[in-house]
Amino acid sequence: MRNPVTLFTAQWGDYPLAELLPKVAAWGYDGLELSCKGDHFDFVRAAQDTDYCAAHRELLAKHGLGVWAVGNHRCGQLVCDPNDFRTDGFVPERFRGKPAAKRDYGIEHMKLTAQAAKNLGVQLVTGFTGSAIWSYLYRFPAVDEEVIEAGFAEFAELWNPILDVFGECGVRFALEVHPAQIAYDFHTAARALAAVGRRPEFGFNFDPSHLFWQMVDTVQFVREFGDRIYHMHVKDCALTLDGRSSIIGSHLNFGDLRRGWDFRSAGHGQIPFGDLFGTLHAVGYTGPYSVEWEDSRMDREWGAADAAGYVRRTAFPPSKMSLDHALGNKK
């Protein structure tokens, strides 16, 4: 298999990295997508200390593991988010309750993340952008189209200087197309790309679970944006609409049986991963298949091992010849 199978460590922050690594190796992964949380990856230190990055690489190598991406979703969220009380936990105490200060913190720390990734020897950062217009998803009270246009313009104004630093570092940023982000579905993804002039530093972390519950065709998304899919999260999803539930979520926590949809461990939901992997191969995707494990019903460690096995069984290698050639029918 040419695509490495990795595990995103964001959902494993309660494990020190040294304790998590032997588990990841035993579960059958090739490596990690390192989350910029806890001791998994101190990106502020990494931006200044190449010895720290080398030690991180050595620690992974002792377990036969590599790293292809780092994820900094919290700092990215601060850039365009309104930054109310919900993001106070993303910043040091002195910035809490101060929306502008939180934004400045996010901008500077995303720039540091680019340098940290460069020092670690990876060329990709996954994350969020936040959105000033997500709360206008349903247009009542009504907002003018100019308000929506201004939201995309603000995204470009705030992110282009960050992306300049990414370009200087030789690192790309992959936005996870996701609710509460400037791009959350097919059309907003296209609009976000246009807002930044389709610059090569900006692309997508493709997580089909966030599209599936919106009833967006995930295969069509890959066909349309294949050249901008820089990374993939492997997470499944199931729609469980029963006439009483809705896709909006009803303010019910994940795992609540009354929800109209929920995340599933890979292979335990309804996403057509066989078709997705085949289409990703067809558009030339060679990046990681990074398992983001979120399934409220299932033991986490059992699920992580099972997901690694599922990806290896399902992500078939692409053919090296045409069918006619294989059958000897080529004229």
Residue 146 CB burial class (10 angstroms; 0-12, 13-18, ≥19): exposed
Q: What is the rounded CA–CA span in Å between residue 281 and residue 115?
A: 30
The pLDDT assigned to 330 comes to 60
Q: Is pLDDT at 326 greater than 70 in this prediction?
A: no
Q: Write the pLDDT tens digit of every residue in 105-129.
A: 999 999 999 999 999 999 999 999 9
Contacts of 304 (CB under 8 A, 6+ apart): 7, 23, 24, 27, 291, 293
Q: What is the rounded CA–CA span in Å between residue 144 and residue 125?
A: 34
The pLDDT assigned to 229 comes to 98
Structure tokens at 164: 């300049």
Structure tokens at 77: 């969220």
Would you state the torsion angle of the CA atoms of residues 211, 213, 214, 216, taken in this order, to the nearest 10 degrees? 50
pLDDT band (50, 70, 90) for residue 327: low
Q: Out of 252-256, 260-264, 293-297, 327-331, pick the least confident.
A: 327-331
The pLDDT assigned to 318 comes to 78
Q: Write the pLDDT tens digit of every residue in 274-286.
A: 999 999 999 999 9
The pLDDT assigned to 54 comes to 98
In 3D, which of 162, 172, 45 has the Cα closest to residue 111?
162
pTM to 2 decimals?
Answer: 0.96
Structure tokens at 237: 């999803």
Would you state the torsion angle of the CA atoms of residues 171, 172, 178, 182, taken in this order, to the nearest 10 degrees? 110
Q: Is pLDDT at 292 greater than 60 in this prediction?
A: yes
The pLDDT assigned to 316 comes to 85
What is the helix (H) or strand (E) element at residue 198, kind and residue range?
A: none
On average, the pLDDT of the chain sits at: 95
Structure tokens at 98: 């101060």
Q: Write the pLDDT tens digit of every residue in 242-271.
A: 999 999 999 999 999 999 999 999 999 999
Domains of the chain: 5-326 (3.20.20.150)
Contacts of 305 (CB under 8 A, 6+ apart): 26, 27, 28
Q: Is pLDDT at 331 greater than 60 in this prediction?
A: no
What size, in residues, is the chain?
331
Quick one: what percent of the chain has pLDDT higher than 90? 93
The pLDDT assigned to 328 comes to 67
- How much is the CA Rg of the chain, to the nearest whole Å? 20
DSSP state of 318: P
Q: Write the pLDDT tens digit of every residue in 216-233.
A: 999 999 999 999 999 999
The pLDDT assigned to 41 comes to 97
Q: Write the pLDDT tens digit of every residue in 10-68.
A: 999 999 999 999 999 999 999 999 999 889 999 999 999 999 999 999 999 999 999 99
Q: What is the rounded CA–CA span in Å between residue 290 and residue 315?
A: 12
Q: Cis check for the bond before 141: say yes or no (omega within 30 of 0).
A: yes
Structure tokens at 318: 């692409």
The per-type count for the chain, helices as H runs and strands as E runs, is: 12, 10
Q: What is the rounded CA–CA span in Å between residue 264 and residue 267?
A: 8
What is the helix (H) or strand (E) element at residue 3, kind and residue range?
A: none
CA 143, chain centre distance (Å): 30
Q: What is the rounded CA–CA span in Å between residue 79 and residue 184?
A: 16
Q: Are 310 and 295 in contact (CB under 8 A)?
A: no
